[in-house]
Structures are given as structure tokens and as C-alpha cells.
Amino acid sequence: MMSPSQDSSLATKIKDVDTLVGEFERLGYVTDPALATAIYLSTQLRKPLLIEGHAGLGKTEVAKVLASVLETRLIRLQCYEGLDVNSAVYEWDYQKQLLAIKLEEKSEETVEEKQRHIFSREFLLQRPLLVSILEEHVPPVLLIDEVDRADEAFEAYLLELLSDFQITVPELGTIKAKHPPHVILTSNRSRELSDALRRRCFYHWIDYPSFEKEMRIVRRKLPGTEESLARQVVRLVQAVRELELAKPPGVAETLDCTEAATALGKNRLDVETVEQTLGCLVKSMEDTATIKAAGIVNLIAQAN
């Protein structure tokens, strides 16, 4: 549990949802009441927050900004297929253990004493999940990014951490967090997560933003952009999202496209500019072909 002074510090930084919205805006993250409320409740009730949505919509950024707002450490675990305990939680430093065994061969210690020594924390290589549990001072923000990329076995392993903020190391026993981390999990829904994982979390779905919100994001992230160009790009991207694409562009692609057009010295979109920056919007040959089939001229007309 946190000390009273730490509780007070947290309350000062995020005393209500409006304060959280203001702090996120100050750091350049445009949020909305629903997302802000989910983040606020997660921090106040100390419950993990699972954020799902399409790629490129700012899910990962939530954890980064929250760590900045709370002035605490961000610990990130990037998930991938085949992720296991050795990479995510801990592993033993076998070389160091073997060296210690060699050095203790002539020691008068009993076998049990030697085992306790070589399986002590001195020989433990800490990975992100264990690091988040062992934090000594203030609660860190733990980002478990793209949890849907990990397999179901690893997802099951997470349940102990998300329920009780503790990790069991067979040789050492159960290690419980002094200061439970603020946990943010993100998912692009490449596979369905288990009900057991979902029950342990608050949940929020980030959808594609409205035109007004996306304009606010562009203005915040790229303040020097010509207003007319920004409007054209946002309208173009929103029109492209209506097409049957394998991977519709997210806000990240909107920003890339805006920056690219600006770098080319353009203050308005035309066919040539869109063709030159198409690689900012879509990332596959099939989606590129779909856009061209829809007619770049038609898409630009919708953007004007």
C-alpha cells in the first residue's frame, strides 16, 4: 500500500477527471471524457486499465503521458508471439550461479545454505514485470503493450499480477508489491483476450476520432501546420477510412501525412501530393490499390 504522503501527492496531481484532462492536454494528448474517466478510475481504484482499439490511435501514448503526469517511472513490456517468463518476469543468472558454486566448493556451508545463496536475489535477472513489483519508492506506470500478441499461456500468467500485484518465484516464494503499479494494457484485437483477464481490468475502447477531435490533435501535435492543409488532410484520412481497407489509417498516419505534405512545401493537397505521400497513409500494396481504385481525385474532392 502507498504511504499517506504518496496518496496525498497522487490526489494533488489528479484530484478529479477535469484535472486529468487538463494535465493530458498540457502534455499534448487530446483526450475525451470517457477515456479520461477510465484513466482516473484506474489510478484511484488501483485497477488495471485495458485499452483496445485500432492501431495508431494513441493507446500506448496514454501510459507514457500518465507517467509524466504522475512524475513516476514508465516500465514497458512489449508483447510478442512466444513471449515467456524469462523475457517478461525474471530468469536466473546461470553463469554467475555456476561461478558462485565453484567458489563455494570448499566452503563449510551445508547444501541447503549453498542453495539459498545461489537462489537469492543477488542472482536474479529482473525483467519488466518483476521490476514493476520491486519498485521501492513510488508506484510506477507499467505498460503491457499489445498484450494480444502474446499467447494464452502468458496471458494466464498475468492473472496473479493483475489480481494481487504479486509474482511467485518458486525458489524465493511470493514477492508482493510495496507500491502496486498503475497498469495499462493495450490490445489491437489481433486475437480475443480471455474473460479472466478482462474481468480484472477496467475497459475502454478507443475509436477513430471525429473530425473536430482529429483537428485538435493535429493542431496540438503540429502547431505550425497551415490550417487549410490540416483540414484537407484530416478530411482525406477520414474519407480513406470509409474504404474497405485491411488496415485503415490511424491518427499516427494523419500526423505523418500532414508532416510529409508540409515537408514537401505544400499548403494544399493535390493529386501529385497525395500520390507522393500515400505511403504515409497505408502500409500495404493491397490498400494502396484500393485507394487508387477509389480515385484520388474523388478523395481530394471530399477533402475540400
DSSP 137-161: SSPPEEEEETGGGS-HHHHHHHHHH
* pLDDT at position 291: 93
pLDDT-wise least confident of 12-21, 219-228, 236-245, 256-265? 12-21
* Structure letter (DSSP) for residue 121: G
Can you tell me the mean pLDDT for 192-210? 94
Asked whether the predicted pLDDT for residue 30 surpasses 60, the reply is yes
Q: What is the dihedral of CA 53, 13, 19, 36, to 10 degrees?
A: 10
Distance between CA atoms of 183 and 46, rounded to whole angstroms? 8
Beta bridge partner(s), residue 205: 52
pLDDT given at position 12: 55
- Reduce the DSSP state of residue 185 to 3 states and report it: strand
User: How far apart, in whole angstroms, are the C-alpha atoms of residue 177 and residue 163?
Assistant: 12
Instruction: Using the predicted structure, report yes or no on whether residue 94 has a pLDDT greater than 90.
Output: no
**Is the pLDDT assigned to residue 243 strictly greater than 50?**
yes
Residue 8 has pLDDT above 70, yes or no: no
Rounded distance between C-alpha atoms, residue 154 and residue 81, angstroms: 10
Continuous segment of H or E residues that includes residue 203: strand 202-206
CA pair distance 123, 94, nearest whole angstrom = 8
pLDDT, the chain, mean: 89
- Say if residue 3's pLDDT is above 70: no
What's the pLDDT score for residue 110?
76
- The answer on pLDDT for 5 being more than 70 is no
Burial of 105 (0-12, 13-18, 19+ CB in 10 A): exposed
Residues 260, 220, 256, CA angle at the centre, nearest 5°?
20
Contact 155, 194 (CB under 8 A): yes
Is residue 50 pLDDT above 60, yes or no? yes
